[in-house]
């Protein structure tokens, strides 16, 4: 089994757990939880494969992706109390999936001959895709569009992989470093409240209308 396939399957599993956990917290039934686990675990990879021309996408051509997603959903549904012992389990598993998919996306982009800059961007897109799909299905603003560090962490992890290949560093080493960097950045940002600048809207002062009812009566 190749390194890329291992990263993809492990990333699918942990992202699927984040999707299933979100479904349990919103009291979805078993079918809804399994749908959410599959979408969260595979949306990023499907988007990546379509963009680089790897069709049909691995998530729908390889039975292992479906099996891993459903397994994560069933485990979360039946053993949610164990998952819930983690502090903010959705965020923890989301951060792990983000890290694994960011480095896996960068690896696959490089394997298909993309230039370094686009490989980094595709790694980031692979990482954020599953979380975006999960949040949209549960009617939340996607995490990537909120203030805390998310896409930046994925960019950092993917960049480590790409720079490592340019410097001829063994891919296993860059994969581990890139994934750990992304995961650590995401968790530290959550813990310390790091965020990108947020647009501030200035409120216009309320001006008194010219002429009042009293003036009219006069």
How many domains would you assign to the chain?
1
Residue 32: which domain range?
3-197
The answer to whether position 193 is within a domain reads: yes
Task: Write out the chain's pLDDT in tens, 218 residues.
Answer: 688 888 889 989 999 998 999 999 899 999 999 999 999 999 999 999 999 998 899 899 999 999 999 999 999 999 888 777 766 777 888 888 899 999 999 999 999 999 999 999 999 999 999 889 999 999 888 888 875 688 899 999 999 999 999 999 999 999 999 999 999 999 898 888 777 777 676 666 665 555 555 555 55
Quote the tokens at residue 214: 């009293």
Instruction: Please report whether residue 213 resides in a domain.
Output: no
- The answer to whether the beta carbons of residues 128 and 98 sit under 8 Å apart is yes
CB 63 within 8 A of CB 38: no
Position 214 in a domain: no
Helix ranges (H only) for 53-115 are: 58-61, 63-78, 80-83, 89-111
Measured in whole angstroms, the distance separating CA 61 from the mean position of its chain's CA atoms is 22
pLDDT at residue 142, as a whole number: 86
Is 216 part of a structural domain of the chain? no
State pLDDT tens for residues 61-96. 999 999 999 999 999 999 888 777 766 777 888 888
Whether the Cβ atoms of residue 64 and residue 1 lie closer than 8 Å to each other: no
Helix, strand, coil distribution of the chain in percent, nearest 5:
75, 0, 25
Is there a domain that residue 131 lies in? Answer: yes
Residue 188 within any structural domain of the chain: yes
């Amino acid at each position: 089994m190749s390194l890329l396939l291992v990263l993809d399957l492990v990333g699918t599993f942990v992202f699927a757990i984040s999707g299933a956990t979100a479904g349990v917290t919103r009291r979805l039934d078993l079918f809804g939880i399994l749908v959410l686990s599959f979408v969260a675990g595979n949306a990023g990879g499907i988007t990546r494969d379509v963009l680089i021309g790897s069709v049909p996408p691995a998530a729908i051509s390889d039975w292992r992706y479906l099996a891993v997603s459903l397994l994560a959903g069933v485990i979360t549904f039946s053993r949610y109390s164990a998952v819930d012992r983690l502090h903010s389990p959705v965020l923890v598993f989301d951060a792990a999936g983000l890290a694994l998919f960011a480095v896996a996306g960068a690896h696959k982009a490089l394997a298909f001959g993309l230039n370094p800059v686009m490989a980094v961007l595709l790694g980031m897109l692979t990482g954020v895709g599953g979380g975006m799909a999960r949040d949209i299905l549960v009617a939340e603003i996607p995490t990537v569009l909120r203030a805390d560090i998310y896409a930046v962490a994925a960019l950092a992890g993917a960049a480590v992989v790409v720079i490592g290949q340019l410097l001829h560093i063994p891919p296993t080493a860059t994969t581990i470093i890139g994934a750990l960097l992304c995961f650590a950045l995401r968790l530290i940002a959550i813990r310390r409240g790091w965020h990108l600048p947020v647009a501030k809207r200035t409120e216009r002062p309320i001006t008194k209308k010219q002429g009042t009812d009293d003036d009219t009566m006069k």
